[in-house]
Amino acid sequence: MTRVTLSRWRVFQVFKYAIYALLTLNIFLFYGEESAAALLQFDGGVALGQVIEAYAATIDTLAWVILLLMFELETFVLSDHHFTRRVVWTLQVVRIVAYGFIIYSFFGYIANLTFLDRVVPLANVSDLCALGDGWTYATGLDTFVPITSENCASFSAATSFYQLPGMLTAVDAEGLLDNRILAWVDVINAGVWLLVVLVLEIDVRLQEHDRYQGVALKTSNASKVVMYLVLLLAAIYWGLKGDFVDFWDAFLWLVAFFAIELNVVEWHRKSEAVLA
């Protein structure tokens, strides 16, 4: 029985770190996707102040991976005797830097949302085939397909269109609405994740002082059920919209933080056993 339990635990650890590795790979997937979009959205090159708008998902994912590893170290890898003053300060500095970029990326998602509020109607254009060379069609938030004489009639049957600000990119009303909803989902998803880690940080600090119990434990669990449900709905929405990268990333993050939650539960169980 012990061997079976130990074997399952080892399998879980391998599975957990495989999830972490896949999340690291997603950094490069988002970078490739956003780099292609930045070539069109910022035709004069990405200025320093525009980096967060151009690479919000890439920066966000990188910072989250770093923060995830900090939680893994603190809740599973490191034992109590490892937490020397130097280790604690190092973890705190890295955590603060990661949070800084995560909050920075959150405002990047807001910038992407407000970017869509600056669209203008395409005057005297009732047919995409009437647009000249160099125009693209926005099939997603970061997906722009060149409009050619061969495909111009396949994008939309609408008779009025909008132009994205500063870009030779068109979109119809339905597509603009879809992109605005996607942008709102990005903002809500990022905001809820910030709340999740805030609660998790409180959990870890309470556990460190043997106070993660009673009302605090019940409140934490109840709030996280609601927040994880919102995050799951966001992932499902991306999946239904055919955005595989965002769906896959969201799914992996839910699994990864479920693993961190299990770390905290096991840590709490061991602490309770010691106190008993």
> How much is the pLDDT for 222?
93
> How much is the pLDDT for 268?
67
pLDDT digits (tens, 9 = 90+) for 159-200: 999 999 988 999 999 999 999 999 999 999 999 999 999 998
Instruction: Give the mean model confidence (pLDDT) for residues 146-153.
Output: 90
- Cα–Cα distance measured from residue 46 to residue 35, given in angstroms and rounded to the nearest whole number: 10
Backbone angles phi, psi at 19, to 5 degrees: -65, -45
> How much is the pLDDT for 6?
59
- Cα–Cα distance measured from residue 18 to residue 245, given in angstroms and rounded to the nearest whole number: 17
Number of CB atoms found within 10 A of residue 6's CB: 10
Q: At what angle do helices 56-72 and 244-275 cross, to 10 degrees?
A: 20
- Cα–Cα distance measured from residue 118 to residue 28, given in angstroms and rounded to the nearest whole number: 29
pLDDT of 121 > 90? The answer is yes
Tokens of 169: 């990119």
> How much is the pLDDT for 2?
47
Task: Count, in order, helices (H) and strands (E) of the chain.
Answer: 7, 5
> How much is the pLDDT for 11?
85
pLDDT of 4 > 60? The answer is no
- Cα–Cα distance measured from residue 142 to residue 245, given in angstroms and rounded to the nearest whole number: 12
Contact 134, 168 (CB under 8 A): yes
More confident residue, 44 or 152: 152
Contact 61, 82 (CB under 8 A): no
Contact 172, 158 (CB under 8 A): yes
pLDDT of 231 > 90? The answer is yes
| Residues 118, 112, 103: CA angle, nearest 5 degrees | 140
> How much is the pLDDT for 116?
93
> How much is the pLDDT for 1?
42
> How much is the pLDDT for 245?
80
- Mean pLDDT over the full length of the chain: 87
pLDDT digits (tens, 9 = 90+) for 17-29: 999 999 999 999 8
Counting residues of the chain whose pLDDT is more than 90, the rounded percentage is 44
